[in-house]
A and B are shown apart, each in its own frame.
Chain A
Amino acid sequence: MTYDGETLAQLEKDAAAILGRYPVARSALLPLLHLVQSVDGYVSPDGIAFCARQVDLTSAEVSAVATFYTQYKRRPNGEYQVGVCTNTLCAVMGGDEIWRQLSERCGVGHDETTADGRVTLERIECNAACDYAPVMMVNWEFFDNMTPERALRVVDDILEGRDVKPTRGSAKVAPFKEMSRVLAGFEDGRADEDQGLGEPTVVGLKAAREQGWEESK
């Protein structure tokens, strides 16, 4: 184990909090893997050994679990995970072309990271936002109704070190490690941040009002 004392102490404190949420220790494994990604930026050999100790498994058993899930990265991830949905609906609506242009701009393919370590590009599956197609996710925040121009601007901003704002979600996208800490189940105080109403989310509600619907009815 090569974590320094301070890092290890914090990890153990966080791991204890995670374990406390479950009646059976092994259930803590997925959040623990998100936790080690929040420290190392990927599921490192040290991270695997750490998780194994917490839930009393072998490193091989933990690896077998980690490799099943696409969100756990086996190599150091870019600071920003940029995922373009290329499942059928988004692909048809323009996701394929957005992917092509982003890949060209970044000079990397699927699951590859730019040389400066800023962006890891990924083709992702349906992210439950089809009514906002074509969809892109940056560190798992929604970038809805993308065009190649909009998507390229987001990626350029990231590559040039500027913050980026999702279209639905928080005020700015958290870097990969910070985001991973939230996925480990630690609140970051940003739940009330909001980008306003997305039209597809409320379009039916508006249509109902036009039909004369009122909430109290």
Chain B
Amino acid sequence: MTDLTPVLSATWDAEQSWKLSTYTDHGGYGALTKALGMEPADLIAAVKDSGLRGRGGAGFPTGMKWGFLPPDDGLPRYLVVNADESEPGTCKDIPTMLSAPHLLVEGVAITSYAIGSNHAFIYLRGEVVHVYRRLMQAVREAYEAGHLGKDIHGSGFDLDVTVHAGAGAYICGEETALLDSLEGRRGQPRLKPPFPAVEGLYARPTVVNNVESIASVPSIVGKGVEWFTAMGTERSKGMGLFSLSGHVAKPGQYEAPLGITLRELLEMAGGMRNGRPLKFWTPGGSSTPLFTDEHLDTPLDYESVGAAGSMLGTRALQLFDDTTCVVRAVTRWTEFYKHESCGKCTPCREGTFWLAQILERIEDGHGTDADIQQLLDTCESILGRAFCALGDGATSCITSSVKLFRDEYEQHIQQGACPFDHSASALFDYDSAPAPEEAHA
């Protein structure tokens, strides 16, 4: 049995956990003092040695990313924190920033020092106003206490931090779209290369990292590389937040070493609601291929999840029991991708439109036998041909669900209707006289 390892979440139930005083009472900003006494290159080496991999979905080694910045040319370079958290199922960065914003601010200060940045940005999705309040307050408190601003802790290092609110667009979580958005443009992905490390914000060297990646840095610096590498598996080191949602008895944030299994997590989370069977789940958000109960013992690390045909992604475990219609679930996700497609490239813009059309008619009972193949063909035209990973991600739930639950698609087509009672999967009883499902927006 793998035990939970609260690190980022360790203080979330403390009185006024978001305040600077609470954070410093628990040792906060000690790691910053330690870091400022080190050489930046040694800090980068430590994060490399820790094996920390990006927690925003792709799992790229964080220290290696920092190391890609070209040598200092005396001109600005930037740290940009990706706090856009919008991948369906993902709900870990928001509670982190709401409950412990200083963890992120301290991580920002240490990282900026390591990469030689004097201006960092936190790009927060705009749809969470109280989180923005907490972040702005945390940054102000940190300035007032000398953890940000001029000559931090007397080290001679200066850092300004701007907390920026977006305005509602999933694609702005993609790092280059985020940079365009932060520059005051429509949030559309840029061609890579050049990578942000070479030409990022304002065409200057830029590190873009996820909230959880940056929030993990103070503990690595404070407690040491060995402490971190003692957790996790061979190539997936450390702890991470596993976010359980859906038909589980006790949904929520479970911080555990990478490599824990869903079976272990479910045991801690009280099992599936009413003991019903698990039907399908996403290991890392809606862009990762679906798993079933056959994957209860797959270690949730990058390699094992990949080998089993999916992706660890953001560890957003959305669990659905046997009352759930997989066609309905996949249709809704597809409508999301259609809505959020930025329109820059044809395969994704047109493809997600057609995928949604086909899925809607299958779910409504108007599908034909040819539709399933049409779905797969359309996915094939998108996968690998889209300009950014949104397009690829849109195909994951479709291709995996057809593979796993083809009979359910066929049932919709043969019966001319959805075979499921949608009210059975809700947490409450529907109205006594249920109206037909409303038109899709």
Residue of A with least CB distance to B162? A21
Q: Which B residues touch A71, using CB under 8 A?
A: 126-127, 166-168
* Interface stretch of the complex, out of B4-12, B149-157, B305-313: B4-12
Tell whether A97 pairs with B426 under 8 Å between CB atoms, given A125-B86, A170-B133: yes
Among B86, B126, B182, B250, the residue within 8 A (CB) of A203 is B250
Provide the bound-state CA to CA distance between A65 and B167, in Å. 11
User: Which residues of chain A have C-beta atoms less than 8 A from B408's C-beta?
Assistant: none
Indicate if the CB atoms of B13 and A34 lie closer than 8 Å: no
Give which listed residue, B12, B245, B332, B431, contacts A86 with CB less than 8 A.
B332
* Any A CB within 8 A of the CB of B318: yes
Q: Are A191 and B137 in contact (CB under 8 A)?
A: yes
Q: At the interface, yes or no: B16 with Cβ under 8 Å from chain A?
A: yes
B441 within 8 A of A: yes
Q: 1/0 per residue B258-283: CB within 8 Å of A?
A: 00000000001100000000000000
Check B163 for interface membership: any CB of A closer than 8 A.
yes
**B252, chain A: closest CB distance, angstroms:** 3
Q: What's the Cα separation between A147 and B137 when bound, in Å?
A: 33
Question: In the assembled complex, how far is the CB of residue B407 from the closest CB belonging to chain A, in whole angstroms?
Answer: 20
A88 at the interface (CB under 8 A from B): yes
Q: For the complex, is B405 an interface residue (Cβ under 8 Å from A)?
A: no
A212 to B6, CA, bound (A): 12
Nearest chain B CB to A106 CB, angstrom units: 13
Residues in B neighbouring A184, C-beta threshold 8 A: 165
Contact present for B336 and A125 (CB under 8 Å): yes
B246 contacts chain A at the CB level, 8 A cutoff: yes
A55 at the interface (CB under 8 A from B): yes
Contact of B134 among A22, A130, A191, A203 (CB under 8 A): A191
CB distance from A169 to the nearest CB of B (A): 4
Q: How far is the CB of A204 from chain B (nearest CB, A)?
A: 4
Name the B residues within 8 Å of A47 (CB-CB).
none
Instruction: Return the contact of A88 from the options B4, B119, B169, B318 (Cβ within 8 A).
Output: B318
What are 6 A-B contacts with C-beta separation under 8 Å? Answer: A125-B336, A131-B252, A131-B253, A197-B13, A202-B13, A207-B268
Task: Name 6 extra pairs, CB < 8 A, besides A69-B169, A130-B251, A205-B6.
Answer: A30-B165, A68-B169, A128-B94, A137-B127, A168-B130, A204-B256
Chain B residues with a Cβ under 8 A of chain A: 3-6, 9-13, 16, 18-19, 26, 76, 85-91, 93-95, 98-99, 119, 125-130, 132-134, 136-137, 140, 162-170, 181-187, 202, 242-247, 250-256, 268-269, 286, 316, 318, 320, 324, 328-330, 332-333, 336, 339-340, 342, 422-423, 425-428, 430-431, 434-435, 437-438, 441
